[in-house]
Amino acid sequence: MHPSNKPRKECETPEGGWGYFVCLGMIMIFVFVHGVIHCFGLVFNDFLKETGAGTGIFPVLNSCTYGAISVAGLSFHSLTHKFSKRVVGLIGATCYCIGGFFQLFATSIAPLFVAFILNGASLGLMMPAILSTFNSYFMKRRVMMMSITQAIIGLGQMAVPIVVQYFLENFGFRGCLLILAGLNFHCIIAMLLMHPVEWHAKKRFAEEECLSKDSPAPKDEESQPLKPLTTNMENITRRILPSAPEEGAPSNEHFTALKEPSKPFGIWERIIEFLDLTLLKQPVYVNIVLGVTISFYSDLSFFVFQPLYLLELDYSKADAAQIMAIGSGADLVSRCILAVASAMCTIHPRYTFLAGVVLSLVARYVFVHAIDFWSVAILTAIIGFFKTWIHVPMPLVFADYLSKERFPSGYGLFLFLKGMISFGIGPVVRYIRDAANSYIVVFQFLNVLLATVGISWFAEIVWRKCKGRRKHDDKSLENEEMSP
């Protein structure tokens, strides 16, 4: 067999080993990045009031972040053609550290926009690298390891609001930003842990590859690997089609298309192939993207506005931080329960995500009617508990639907669409906040967005069930007609 036609042996999924260090890197990113993002309202509340921008600027800043995420996420697949995913992630981690120092020296709103755009671009490069590396290390234990990792992340995020409040009280606004900027360097350490799975492949697979290279090809036809489909088609068309059609013979345009497959000839066709935009033709993928995007934006906006809402209700910063910590504690408990459940039985990521959306919607609707401390704290705990059912299965929803080869491009395309949609929703949320001058109206608007996700995903489930039942009935009818 010619070396060029020799199939490439894939590495076996380690299901552990260095994959545990990959989980450690994921924990660093989610704790020191996403955990601090939820505290932006706590950190910048007084600064925005002093500059005259007001807290209504948060949706616009978030829109800039998501816009940068979209561009960086879409370019991730293109960058991996020239660099490894680890190198691309390191570039993102470096940009995130630079963005943290932009916040440190901000005296007006303009540097914050630059910082948020840099942070968004960094997340767009880091998240696909982390999740695709994690998926390459785990297959059978993917749900369980993701649940355990997210449980540890929840433990770290539970302490973040209290720690941030401690920094603000003891070191002031600038001192707190300086410490957070220093903690951002954990992102670089985390990306250094993202080793390609080929570096830690099992030795017996490497020996098999070396043996197959040194030993001659077996003569037994059954023991030889299958030839590529394109080679077989070329041989078939070469036998069927003459080198030149005879005079008066009918033209074989249909078979000529088989002999010479069409190639992208325009710029748009090349962009579609390069960015894997054919995924947009799949209704299920589009529904997943829209559902995850809207749910994530609604959840993030709720927890960003929550401390501002509590401060508006005349809660002290210490009480607001304590309530947020209670929500993070409930989040941690839920992650632990989900980790144990995933080890004992099979959990479907999409159904878990959908259940989290519906139950969070109910809890948030009741939350806006609570005023006293313990009512707010209990409802925040319930919302934090079901928040886990949205965040933990989110990357697994894409991992279950997309193949390992298409996951980087599919997730990068998701980040792009997520950024564009969130970029459009942000100004709308700010307009509602300024026009109504009420956080309750904003919370209800976010609840409406979350309700659309539940409706669309339920509709898809019903549609797929009906489609599957119709195919089953047609097959049964065909069998009855064929039977004597």
Question: Which of 21, 32, 27, 31 minimizes the C-alpha distance to 193?
Answer: 21
Burial state string for 84-93 with b = 16 or more CB within 10 A and e = fewer than 16: ebbbbbbbbb
| Contacts (Cβ under 8 Å, ≥6 apart) of 272 | 264, 278
Q: Taking the CB of residue 482, how many other CB atoms lie within 10 A of it?
A: 7
Q: Which CATH architecture has domain 19-200+272-473?
A: Up-down Bundle (1.20)
pLDDT of residue 216: 44
Question: Which of 113, 133, 20, 32 minimizes the C-alpha distance to 67?
Answer: 113
* pLDDT band with cut points at 50, 70 and 90 for residue 128: confident
Mean pLDDT of 459-463: 87
Least confident among 45-54, 87-96, 161-170, 238-247 = 238-247
Question: Which of 13, 36, 331, 32 minimizes the C-alpha distance to 145?
Answer: 13
* pLDDT band with cut points at 50, 70 and 90 for residue 383: very high
Least confident among 270-279, 340-349, 365-374, 408-417 = 270-279
Rounded distance between C-alpha atoms, residue 222 and residue 311, angstroms: 73
Please state the separation of Cα 145 from the chain's center in Å. Answer: 16
Q: Taking the CB of residue 342, how many other CB atoms lie within 10 A of it?
A: 23
The model's pLDDT over 22-57, given as tens digits with 9 standing for 90+, comes to 899 999 888 888 777 767 777 777 787 777 766 667
pLDDT of residue 182: 86
pLDDT of residue 411: 79
| Contacts (Cβ under 8 Å, ≥6 apart) of 404 | 135, 136
Which pairs with CB-CB distance under 8 Å and at least 24 residues apart come from 281-286? Answer: 283/460, 284/401, 284/460, 285/401, 285/402, 285/410
Domain locations in the chain?
19-200+272-473
* pLDDT band with cut points at 50, 70 and 90 for residue 349: confident
Instruction: Flag whether pLDDT at 471 surpasses 70.
Output: no
Instruction: Flag whether pLDDT at 246 surpasses 90.
Output: no
The model's pLDDT over 248-268, given as tens digits with 9 standing for 90+, comes to 444 444 434 444 444 545 677
Q: pTM of the full predicted structure?
A: 0.64
Query: By percentage, how much of the chain surpasses pLDDT 70?
Result: 77
pLDDT of residue 445: 92
Question: Would you give the end-to-end CA distance of the chain in angstroms?
Answer: 50
Mean pLDDT of 447-464: 90
Q: Which amino acid is at 149?
A: T
Kindly give the interhelix angle for 283-312 and 317-344, rounded to the nearest 10 degrees: 150
Mean pLDDT of 55-76: 75
pLDDT of residue 274: 62
Q: Token pair of 192, please?
A: 């250094």
Q: Taking the CB of residue 476, how many other CB atoms lie within 10 A of it?
A: 10
The model's pLDDT over 194-212, given as tens digits with 9 standing for 90+, comes to 888 888 766 444 444 433 4
Give ∠ CA 217-222-226 in degrees, rounded to 5: 75
pLDDT of residue 362: 93
Instruction: Flag whether pLDDT at 402 surpasses 70.
Output: yes
Rounded distance between C-alpha atoms, residue 165 and residue 172, angstroms: 10
Instruction: Flag whether pLDDT at 393 surpasses 70.
Output: yes
pLDDT of residue 379: 92
* pLDDT band with cut points at 50, 70 and 90 for residue 469: low
Is residue 419 within 8 A of residue 73, CB to CB? The reply is yes
Token look-up 């540097």 returns 111
354 versus 425: which is more confidently predicted?
Answer: 354
Question: Which of 125, 416, 479 minimizes the C-alpha distance to 271?
Answer: 416
Rounded distance between C-alpha atoms, residue 305 and residue 129, angstroms: 29
Is residue 59 within 8 A of residue 429, CB to CB? The reply is yes
Query: By percentage, how much of the chain surpasses pLDDT 90?
Result: 10
Q: Token pair of 197, please?
A: 């799975």
pLDDT of residue 470: 65
Instruction: Flag whether pLDDT at 222 surpasses 60.
Output: no
The model's pLDDT over 291-333, given as tens digits with 9 standing for 90+, comes to 998 998 888 888 878 888 888 888 887 888 888 888 878 888 8
Instruction: Flag whether pLDDT at 234 surpasses 50.
Output: no
Question: Collapsing DSSP states into helix, strand and coil, what is residue 264?
Answer: coil
Burial state string for 443-472 with b = 16 or more CB within 10 A and e = fewer than 16: bebbbebbbebbebbeebeeeeeeeeeeee
pLDDT of residue 472: 53
